Amino acid sequence: MSDTETQSAIVVGASSGIGEALAREFAASGYEVGLTARRREKLELIGDQLETQAYVAKMDVTDTEDAREGFRELADAMGEVDVVVLCAGVGYENRDLDWEQERETVDVNVRGFTALATAAMARFEQQGGGHLVGISSVAAHMANGALPAYPASKAFVSNYCDALRYRARNLEADVDVTTIEPGFVDTDMAGGTFWMCSPETAAAQIYRAVRRRKRHAYVTRRWWLVAGLLGLLPDVVKRRLFA
Ligand SMILES: NC(=O)c1ccc[n+]([C@@H]2O[C@H](COP(=O)([O-])OP(=O)(O)OC[C@H]3O[C@@H](n4cnc5c(N)ncnc54)[C@H](OP(=O)(O)O)[C@@H]3O)[C@@H](O)[C@H]2O)c1
């Protein structure tokens, strides 16, 4: 997209954690930012603190038709949208297979993600280009009996982003797709403290990956080692580690 005009980014799931830090990072780098999530007051508070113009849209991604419509209205209000980051996500430890928690995880991380990813791609194809960023997780590389739905939902996100990137080769529009797989980031959702980084560090690394139009990035970078090891472990070991 244009380097001379002011650039713009929409962050879905911008009310806390990585999404909030990323919205601040984009604004500090001169982007106008569209902030969406369910907690409007938090979004407005964050928007008021940004150096650039902020647009706020309340959105529950599980209400997919409403969320897609809200996305289109937000994109129209902002004009051309250069980057869309899909960061909204939930995750629960759920050994008891509580249906509500499994359902919400699939609803937000899979159904909601796909609803917004397809809306963003349609927008990019209509305007001639754009950059989709999917926030997945290193957990996409594992199955875990303690939290069955979350890693499975993130495997969907990573795989779906790959598919959109492959598909983009056939488009006339200039569309990039970046998959971000964070390890532990110090937010309400963090599942551990090992190699944990701050949301600000995560945001800076994600922003750098976007500017470099990378296809994929681990955040922080050394998590490639964990993902690689997980791929090498035999099933008999994984069954013991992740029972
Ligand atoms: N923290 C980690 O260690 C870690 C590691 C790997 C990947 N990730 C991924 O990073 C992303 C951000 O998570 P985080 O760690 O920053 O946690 P967080 O602070 O809890 O942020 C989650 C964001 O998702 C939004 N959200 C949740 N449900 C939503 C819904 N139904 N509709 C719209 N927005 C919704 C929340 O906003 P509202 O509640 O206001 O709606 C919030 O802005 C997630 O996709 C997560 O899976 C995190």
Ordered structural domains, the chain, with CATH: 8-241 (3.40.50.720)
Q: Supply the pLDDT for residue 191.
A: 82
92 has catalytic annotation: no
Q: Work out the mean pLDDT of the chain and round it to a whole number.
A: 96
More confident residue, 108 or 1: 108
Tell the residue nearest (CA) to atom 45 of ligand 1.
89
Q: Report the pLDDT averaged over residues 33-37.
A: 98
Q: pLDDT for 81-91, tens place per residue?
A: 999 999 999 99
How far is Cα 82 from Cα 88, in angstroms, rounded to an integer? 19
**Do 42 and 223 meet the contact criterion of CB atoms below 8 Å apart?**
no
CA of 12 from ligand 1 middle (Å) equals: 9
Greater model confidence, 116 or 3: 116
* 172 Cα: distance to centroid of ligand 1 (angstroms): 32
Residue 179 near residue 136 (C-beta atoms within 8 A): yes
Residue burial 129-167, b: 16+ Cβ < 10 Å; e: rest: bbbbbbbbbbbbbbebeebbbbbbbbbbbbebbeebbee
Question: How far, in Å, CA of 153 to CA of 90, rounded?
Answer: 10
Structure tokens at 47: 């928007």
pLDDT in tens, 203-242: 999 999 999 999 999 999 999 999 999 999 999 999 999 9
Bridge partner residues of 178 (DSSP): 133
* Site of tokens 């992740």: 242
Amino acid identity of residue 149, one-letter, is: A
170 CA distance to ligand 1 centroid (A)?
32
| pLDDT 10s digits, 15-30 | 999 999 999 999 999 9
Does the pLDDT value for residue 199 go beyond 70?
yes
CA of 198 to the centre of ligand 1 (A): 14
Starting at the edge strand found earlier in the chain, the sheet holding 32-37 runs 54-58, 32-37, 8-12, 83-86, 129-135, 174-182, 216-219
Banded pLDDT at 3 (limits 50, 70, 90): very low
Residue located nearest, by CA, to atom 42 of ligand 1: 13
Which residues, 6+ apart, have CB-to-CB distance to 227 below 8 Å?
A: 138, 141, 181, 218
Catalytic residue among 31, 150, 207, 218: 150
Strands 174-182 and 8-12: unpaired
Residue range 182-194: mean pLDDT, rounded = 93
Counting ligand 1 atoms within 8 A of each CB, the residue from 65, 110, 189 with the most, and so the one to mutate, is 189
Atom from ligand 1 closest to the CA of residue 107: 31
- pLDDT > 90? residue 5: no
Percent pLDDT > 90 in the chain is 96
pLDDT of residue 192: 86
Pocket of ligand 1 (CB under 6 A): 13-19, 37-39, 59-62, 87-91, 108, 135, 137, 182, 184-185, 187-191
C-alpha distances out from residue 235 to 1, 92, 140, 155, 231, Å: 45, 23, 16, 17, 10
- What is the pTM (predicted TM-score) of this model? 0.97
User: How large is the average pLDDT for residues 53-68?
Assistant: 98
Work out whether strand 8-12 and strand 216-219 pair parallel, antiparallel, or are unpaired.
unpaired
Q: Is the pLDDT of residue 2 over 50?
A: no
